[in-house]
Structure 1
């Protein structure tokens, strides 16, 4: 039954862009016409028709007229002036959006001089006058000002329906007052100025209090915050202009003829011809199924030969590939000549091991045109293997293409190639793009940036896997034992796909203005991390052995105490035994349940620790046991015989915030808060005749917060060198700075760092051992005293909601799609990330730039020092004894002078015979 009393109005202009950017696969016809935007738009329409079964429907577009200028542009010349140029591959698709709507026989509405939003507002008003309900198909916040009990908004791409209640939750005002909030907040995407320092959250609170813009401007003296009052006074006319720009016109010259808005069967001849041109088999099939459900297909239309429709996607078919092996110097010279004629080529090594320190080169592959790649085998040694080129000969010939300033090399996770090649005397410096890093910069929250994942996500293509050619489990062979009949397509495909991925991601990287981070930070950092991994760090094996014996004795003592309190032998890692002891024998309350019974997770044991000492002992045992197993006992086993050192892996494309991580082993998680954890750092030592120098940024995230928020209290404190934790305590507890007690300063420190990570009153109460109401009061006091921090956090969330991402000072982005999720829990997570990422991510960028700059100086001046480790805000160096004083100055200057901020960066330096003593 059709939805007979509702008019569906599709915001076509908005969905064009959303469809284009939502489908990243490079959909093109066999003639090369890009179709990803048209495909997404068409599928959206079909989904709407099938799901809602509308009786009345229209699609609106922005009308482009050379004679008539948009009235907002006439009002404000800078309106949308900062919009980037439309991508060429979307521009060529524009005529087809109208063609799809017309072939579907859906009424199309547009008017020169106004925008699609104004047409929607006018149609909505007229439809309500006719007694119709209205459903707007969009996700545009500007259209939320139209919602009411009879007007809703549906985002079909997220299956989310917006009602006035949703608007109230987001803006803190009813839909009819949304325009006032938008006028205050402005809109960076449309270049609507608004009022500086006021975002959606603050604007919503102000309009909720004063009712409308003019009432607010007439009562500025009643507004809290000196700077906010000043901005409202200074930018009052700008706010009024912004209100005119955001207010939708509902008096456009748009006809509302219900008979013409009735949905009718598509023109199948036109639609079939159009979809055949676009090679849309699936959409055509779905339209025919929908028509069949409505008995709209004529008898002669029942049967249809879908083979006449071309392919929708173009997988990397085997017929398109030109993969071959190179066996002679003449063939190799031809390949290198081809590389001379291109601006980039993909390069990939095949080796005998995943560990670059153990790996030996079996061969290498190059790709320079899509579908064309070669594999140059050098060391395949199975029975019957053909004669291959000598590895030394190949390396000398390819050396000029891998080294030097002529950056042409494209690769996937090139740190591995750099580490392997350095053993052969080649310094891989000619890197143009690393596709793993490109993907990471574009979407750092993505689960994987591997070649297989990128090929599947971008091209819907399943790669040849290593197991496909080398076998599985105990039957798996090293790559030098793989037959070249199978090795060649595997290796060549890696290079070919890497080049294709690069071609796909490069325009996205440039459009997002992330190319500078890639070129000047992440790629140079790859080499720095490679040097650090190859260098490794020395471990005192004997010291760890002694520590293991000490830890074992302490663990046994803890076990004895647990057994005594439990009334018998108890395994602290056995949930079944702990349930019997804690809940059956001791009668402690059940806090949480799992499928197998009451939970004994750490969070539950922490709560129960307030009631009995046994849960606390169990937690201590578990933590201590993990520390012993993960580090004290495991680290000696990881010392390489050839270097006498441990070589951790530094991961560049794992964390969503931009921070580095380490693995095999993870040296960033050695706890420093406990005496036992600190003892482990004592086992990290320098070579004889050297010292460890540790440099740690002091309160870097709080300093970044001061700079980015421009809070006057924070700026003054860091400018004068005042104790920031004492200052916060004085503000929160309302005491004189000099009268702050050590306990109050500790609370100030906890709150200072807690607000950066969205710490709530419950967590703070637990941290400070105070009531939750007191904790809430402390947090409220903080944000009242540091008012600019409050505004700054609001702005970060609003900006992220508008753009879809959080951004650091250096332009690094973290996508936050959860901000538009229906789950409040997901939204809350994303809001915390929107606040934390710009600060923590900026700190990560700063130390990365410092690492790159310091390594350049170490090499350029041949300094007797080596960078060994990076742990969050800390760098560890190994320095020859007689160079320690100079090294201090070099490191301090390099880390503190890495960028200009309104507060000084400060570094704490320490020197010692082990990592602990150097702190």
Structure 2
């Protein structure tokens, strides 16, 4: 949708279109669109950034009228003229609606009615398949038409658009309604209309969140980076003092130096080093590498990602970033930031607070609900610490006698069952944390757990029995396991059979919660600024924080109760001056 091509490619419009460059003409042509049930909508822009770039052209399509190409440069009041259309109950069919919505929201345009996002619909239907989802991919796959996209990156920032550009723009909306017809039938046939509605609603929240961005205190970040550099140099000096003059970043030199001081390792990866983490030199090496990773991942990358106009981080969220339905994000990936000191750099603007709310143990609540294990449900509904209860069951001790390490072992067991982890992997995970539990002990713990929670035991047995070629979540979200290129059908693995429905259902709940919070914030100065799997971060004026916190909590609880009617939804909620305070 941007940049410059020198040649006018001979693209032809596949249908009739009308180029509109006057207010009078736009008013006269809009009447048939205002009564339409479905409208195809697209924009061409001078770039990808709503803060730096502009809408050059708006394209509309309907079933009964020519496509309209509206010149946003020539018609100064196009927003006012199109408001009735934006507010109409017509279904707005858009490909990758997040892009359009960010530009609209930046201009103060609110889109009413249902959005049908053809990209999200295609991604939902294809979860588990290796398919592409650009508009041209969908048009070829569903309509058997090859689109000419040669004008996509042409220069749209010019007063007069070439006929080839106009034809290209017309084609971009021409196929939206035919795609809608095909995709809607596919969603209905596959019983996925509810989850599609969930995704189409969620795109509003995601667009607003990306546009708002997350505040980052540059001065604090610089201080943090300097602190990391000092600690890094100090650890490097200590390691060299312990092992001699070596390149600490060289696995070969490190292994040889460790051998010389009597530490024999098969390798120097984290797994090998963790087996000797109690030794001072190994501890220093592990800490050195941790800081090295923090420096490389979150040092200059965060600074360079700050927006030149807003001074904030505007991450790019992928609403269907995984086949289970969980979101992912990049540029930067704030979902992977767990370090407290780094989170301390994320702060609201002056006069504002952060509200940070996350679902507590949501995967275990989903497991209890899916399994209808009434003992586990009862414990959760009574607010009992499930990890401590599990520790009490497997160690056969009273709950008030459970140590911190025993609770950590139980926590690993609980989540290991959710994720379908094997006994060896559970023991290895605990070993990395410095907790030594042998295989036979872990197996005995697991059996005691399953004997107590019979509903969970029966659910695991049923969920993992036989071959499964598709898995569903509570919303009806589907992940398929299609044949390979040789036609061989591959079943879901043991881990996938357990993890996919639970992780996917957690995504269902969190997305519904995100959308409900977005609705709560409409009409206020509050805005969504980050989403981390089961955690929602809102930036709100200080004077509104106490008032809106209960409404935000209620919205998130309602989302959980929608899918888990007999399981109490527990939240952790904080009003903060920094993201770090959430975990304090």
Q: Which category describes the TM-score, using the shorter chain as reference length?
A: 0.7 to 0.9
Question: Contact between 1:323 and 1:489, CA under 8 Å: does it hold in 2?
Answer: no
Is the aligned partner of 1:546 residue 2:223? yes
Alpha-carbon spacing, 1:436–1:322, altered in 2? closer, same or farther (3 Å):
same
Is the aligned partner of 1:627 residue 2:294? yes
Deviation at 1:681, TM superposition (A): 0.8
Unaligned runs of 5+ in 2: 1-10, 431-435
Can you list the C-alpha shifts for 1:296-328, whole angstroms capped at 9, x where unaligned? xxxxxxxxxxxxxxxxxxxxxx89922546145
Corresponding residue of 2:352: 690
Is the aligned partner of 1:810 residue 2:475? yes
Corresponding residue of 2:516: 853
Is the aligned partner of 1:487 residue 2:161? no
Distance in 1, matches of 2:68 and 2:256, equals 66
Deviation at 1:378, TM superposition (A): 4.0
Match of 1:410 among 93, 107, 110: 93
Distance in 2, matches of 1:847 and 1:813, equals 17
Can you list the C-alpha shifts for 1:634-669, whole angstroms capped at 9, x where unaligned? 323333343332222332122222222222221111
Is the aligned partner of 1:437 residue 2:120? yes
Is the aligned partner of 1:452 residue 2:125? no
Alpha-carbon spacing, 1:347–1:763, altered in 2? closer, same or farther (3 Å):
same
Is the aligned partner of 1:578 residue 2:578? no
Question: Contact between 1:350 and 1:491, CA under 8 Å: does it hold in 2?
Answer: yes
Question: Contact between 2:21 and 2:70, CA under 8 Å: does it hold in 1?
Answer: no
Alpha-carbon spacing, 1:795–1:714, altered in 2? closer, same or farther (3 Å):
same
Question: Contact between 2:246 and 2:254, CA under 8 Å: does it hold in 1?
Answer: no
Match of 2:185 among 503, 507, 515: 507
Corresponding residue of 1:783: 450
Is the aligned partner of 1:322 residue 2:19? no
- Higher mean alpha-carbon deviation, 689-698 vs 640-649, is at 640-649
Q: 1:654 is paired with a residue of what secondary structure?
A: coil
Is the aligned partner of 1:718 residue 2:396? no
Corresponding residue of 1:732: 394
Distance in 2, matches of 1:689 and 1:342, equals 45
Distance in 2, matches of 1:486 and 1:571, equals 59
Q: Name the TM-score, length of structure 1 as normaliser.
A: 0.56
Q: 1:870 is paired with a residue of what secondary structure?
A: strand
Distance in 2, matches of 1:483 and 1:589, equals 70
Distance in 1, matches of 2:160 and 2:439, equals 64
Deviation at 1:772, TM superposition (A): 2.6
Deviation at 1:616, TM superposition (A): 6.0
Deviation at 1:628, TM superposition (A): 2.2
Corresponding residue of 1:705: 367
Can you list the C-alpha shifts for 1:432-474, whole angstroms capped at 9, x where unaligned? 4110121122233445432233234334554333xx3366xxx
Corresponding residue of 2:334: 667
Is the aligned partner of 1:649 residue 2:293? no
Deviation at 1:526, TM superposition (A): 1.5
Distance in 2, matches of 1:721 and 1:698, equals 11
Deviation at 1:393, TM superposition (A): 4.2
Structure with higher Rg: it is 1
Question: Contact between 2:21 and 2:71, CA under 8 Å: does it hold in 1?
Answer: no
Q: 2:342 is paired with a residue of what secondary structure?
A: helix
User: Cα RMSD (Å) of the superposition?
Assistant: 3.5
Is the aligned partner of 1:874 residue 2:535? yes
Alpha-carbon spacing, 1:719–1:391, altered in 2? closer, same or farther (3 Å):
same
Can you list the C-alpha shifts for 1:482-540, whole angstroms capped at 9, x where unaligned? 95233123222222233332222110112223223333x22222222222222222221
Alpha-carbon spacing, 1:626–1:645, altered in 2? closer, same or farther (3 Å):
same
The alignment covers a number of residue pairs equal to: 562
Question: Contact between 2:21 and 2:75, CA under 8 Å: does it hold in 1?
Answer: no
Q: 1:410 is paired with a residue of what secondary structure?
A: strand
Deviation at 1:844, TM superposition (A): 1.8
Alpha-carbon spacing, 1:589–1:493, altered in 2? closer, same or farther (3 Å):
farther
Q: Name the TM-score, length of structure 2 as normaliser.
A: 0.85
- Higher mean alpha-carbon deviation, 403-412 vs 811-820, is at 811-820
Deviation at 1:855, TM superposition (A): 2.5
